[in-house]
Structure 1
Amino acid sequence: MSDRGSSTSTSPTEGELDEEMESEEGRTETERRGSPAPSLSSFSASLRAVIRIKQKYQAMKKRRQEMALGLTGAGALPGAPGRTSPKIFTFDGLTPGSFPTLSPIPQKTKRRRKKRVLFPNGGAHRAVPKQDRSRATYCLYLLLAIVFVQVYNAIENLDDHVLRYDLEGLEKTLRREVFGQQGAVEGLLSQLKDYLSTYVHNKPLVVSLHGPSGVGKSHLGRLLAGHFRSVVGETLVLQYYVLHHCPQEADALQCARNLSALISEMVERAEEEEKIPLFIFDEAEHMHEEILDALWQLVISKQSNEYLNAIYLFLSNLGHAHITKHMLHNSSVSMAMTASSRHSNLVKELTPILRNALEKLHPLWTEADILPLGLLERGHVMECFLDEMAREGFYPDHANIERLAGEIEYYPAVGGREYSQTGCKQVVAKVNLL
């Protein structure tokens, strides 16, 4: 609109041009009438006026055409240079249909204002709007609760199964009554705890204890048998002494059959009562070949699950020469070690040697976990005398105990340690002589 107004103010309108033309014609007519006779100068002036009027008329006509073309847009070409001649704005020749159609101006949609929630004046009655929760959240909470209950029940069942065998009481008993074998006791208890923590197994637990005479193998077996009789019953514990149950080698085959039948009966009874039986075989170095074969078939049997839920404990002095040699040669090295460290070192170094020697005797020991027992020192022998004298009712005189311990034969002192050749085997006989 500003461009049009400026063009209107600067360019002459059609009426002004007509008036100018009429004034020019009037002046020419007046000059013609007033002059007595036409002359050359007056004729040239009239000619110039006519030419000027014609030029102005042609210029006005051209401008009107340009203005008409600009309004209709028929002659407008994209990218054409703009005209520099002034335009005349008039309303002549314009019709309502000649205006270009303009796209409607998009109007902003009015948002509906949410009504404000008006609460009462009292703050006690004010309620916070509730948020909608997905039902899947409640399903997830329920699933987590079910998983937690299942895991908790599984842990409780494991604890109940271990508590049934009272391994804590067994540990206290072994630590109190077994002298000089704390490392072996810890290893045995660890294996029992791992095995008894569940009732489902893929193989029976087979442990073979080896050591020289008098180090406490038979005493350890008696303690285990007494404890398991108190927790699982007399009928689920077997102590088998080869020299007592089968002294004659000619009866070895029949003894093997009887032993297999007895073990089968015990594992079936244990399966019914959901308990794990214990089989202790003392003096295993005297067991006949037929008995070892029968036990090997029971240990590796995969026919039914009841044979997999059992504990086999073998006590023997097989490999005692390797244990004695290792203890005497490494006493100076193990002076600064604790009892557990010495036993772990003993197990680490002697297990491959003992396993190689035992597998040559019978393949039964390929299925067993080998646990060596070390030699007893002079202090351990004195503890054996003190315990035996207390059992027999004698006054525990320290001087008398040292005198009795001095009557035991020992190996030459190595690294400040004196190891007994017979362990505590002669303790009971010497106390009975008091």
Structure 2
Amino acid sequence: MSDQYSSSSSSHTEEEEEETEEEEMKATPPSMTKLSSTLHAVIRIKQKYETLKKRRQEMAMVMSSLTGAPTRASPKIFTFDTTTAAPPLSSPVCQRKKKKRKRRVLYPERRRRHHRAPRREYSPAECCLCLLSAIVFFQVYNAIENLDDHVLRYDLEGLEKTLRREVFGQQGALEDLLSQLNDYLSTYVHNKPLVLSLHGPSGVGKSHLGRLLAGHFRSVVGEPLVLQYYVLHHCPQDANAPQCARDLHALISAMVEQAEEQEKIPLLVFDEVEHMQGDLLDVLHNLVASKQSNQFLNAVYVFLSNLGHQHITKHVLHNISTATSCCNGNPLRALTPVLRKSLEELHALWTQADILSMGLLEKSHVMQCFLEEMTQEGFYPDRTHVERLASEVEYYPTAGGREYSVTGCKQVVAKVNLL
């Protein structure tokens, strides 16, 4: 319906415009015809434009009255009007919707931001803690290094090689002995001296072990700090026991004082302790007690005797089947409580000592003793000859397929000298 109305109105408008042009042409005075054709065309265009403008305003008002839409003012572009009335303030032109400007997002200052973690305050205690930790670390490291250096001074690795090469059939006792020495010699400050008491039957290598220990310590700490005391040689008569005790006390005091000055640990080896008089045992007991002054606490005492050899012999012969399955391969460790009890009944000295037992030697060990002695004397080590000499030694009755020597290697030196 609206399309039909618009088409009819447009056709009617064109007819009216043509009629208007014809009337204007008739109403034009004769003077105007004399103007140039260009000026005449301009005037006609202006008049035609004003007519069209009026028609269009009338049509717009009719359309707005029908549809209810606000009238739209014609644009002022390309017009020849000199003066135009300003639109009222309530006109649609002034009622344009203003674009909403986005508000600028303002971030708070850095010191007012709450999403960031608060700044960590500086504490001088942290530096002190780090410094203390570093000091403790270096102290512990230095202590460990000093322990290693102190052990290296005594060359316990060389001592172990010598003992394993020279002493036969006493692996369990050697392991306990080296372990005790390594623990004690790893530091210089102690609360008691190291007292080792080695016991075993005759000929098992006690005196030989004492000589090897003394020789090794002479090479590492010097001759003045090593004492080998043979009771039957230094104090053979019982009447001289009190004087021997005083002399022994003075000798040990001088040794430990010299060792204190040199910061070394002396070695004192006492052989044939079973022949010691009571006065000598009392002096030694007072010296090894922990109530002594510092210089007496830094010393190693080694006592060698055959005390308790009956218990050792009986234990070895009656426990052959468990010789390698008990106490980490050393069955004599189970005998230590019994042996300690019998020794403490003899004297209180053994309450301060660590008991180490040396067992019987087998026939193979005796053959090794013959082979070692013949090599040192310059004899050719013929195995047949060695077996013949080893068979001349007295043995206990065979038990469990093993032969244990009664005298150990005691007769080896005498038989080799007869060759």
Structure 1 distance, partners of 2:329, 2:405, is 17
The aligned counterpart of 1:347 is 333
The aligned counterpart of 2:415 is 430
TM score, norm. by length of structure 1: 0.68
| Residue pairs, 1:163-312, within 5 angstroms | 163-300=152-289, 302-312=291-301
The aligned counterpart of 1:55 is none
CA 1:133–1:381: 2 relative to 1, 3 Å:
farther
The aligned counterpart of 1:373 is 358
CA 1:108–1:360: 2 relative to 1, 3 Å:
farther
Q: CA deviation at 1:297?
A: 1.0
Q: CA deviation at 1:331?
A: 0.8
The aligned counterpart of 1:382 is 367
Which residue identity is paired with 1:360? E
Would you say the 8 A contact 1:389–1:396 is kept in 2? yes
The aligned counterpart of 1:396 is 381
Q: CA deviation at 1:113?
A: 6.9
What 5-or-longer segments of structure 2 have no aligned partner? 1-102, 111-118
Structure 2 distance, partners of 1:143, 1:195, is 30
Structure 2 distance, partners of 1:429, 1:133, is 87
The aligned counterpart of 1:111 is 107
Q: CA deviation at 1:299?
A: 1.1
The aligned counterpart of 1:413 is 398
Structure 2 distance, partners of 1:142, 1:248, is 66
Measured against aligned partners, the alpha-carbon deviations of 1:245-297 in whole angstroms (never above 9, x if no partner) come to 00011000000000001001111111011011111100000000111011111
- Number of residue pairs aligned between Structure 1 and Structure 2: 308
SS in 2 for 1:417: coil
Would you say the 8 A contact 2:191–2:290 is kept in 1? no
What 5-or-longer segments of structure 1 have no aligned partner? 1-106, 115-130
Measured against aligned partners, the alpha-carbon deviations of 1:372-401 in whole angstroms (never above 9, x if no partner) come to 100000000011111111111111101011
Would you say the 8 A contact 1:206–1:311 is kept in 2? yes
Instruction: From 135, 147, 162, give the equivalent of 2:136.
Output: 147
TM score, norm. by length of structure 2: 0.70
Would you say the 8 A contact 1:212–1:320 is kept in 2? yes
SS in 2 for 1:201: coil
Structure 1 distance, partners of 2:292, 2:408, is 43
| Residue pairs, 1:8-157, within 5 angstroms | 110-112=106-108, 134=122, 136=124, 138-157=127-146
Identity value in percent? 72
Measured against aligned partners, the alpha-carbon deviations of 1:18-61 in whole angstroms (never above 9, x if no partner) come to xxxxxxxxxxxxxxxxxxxxxxxxxxxxxxxxxxxxxxxxxxxx
Structure 2 distance, partners of 1:328, 1:316, is 20
Structure 1 distance, partners of 2:224, 2:325, is 42
The aligned counterpart of 1:25 is none
SS in 2 for 1:221: helix
Structure 1 distance, partners of 2:286, 2:109, is 88
Would you say the 8 A contact 2:207–2:271 is kept in 1? yes
Would you say the 8 A contact 1:332–1:414 is kept in 2? no
SS in 1 for 2:328: helix
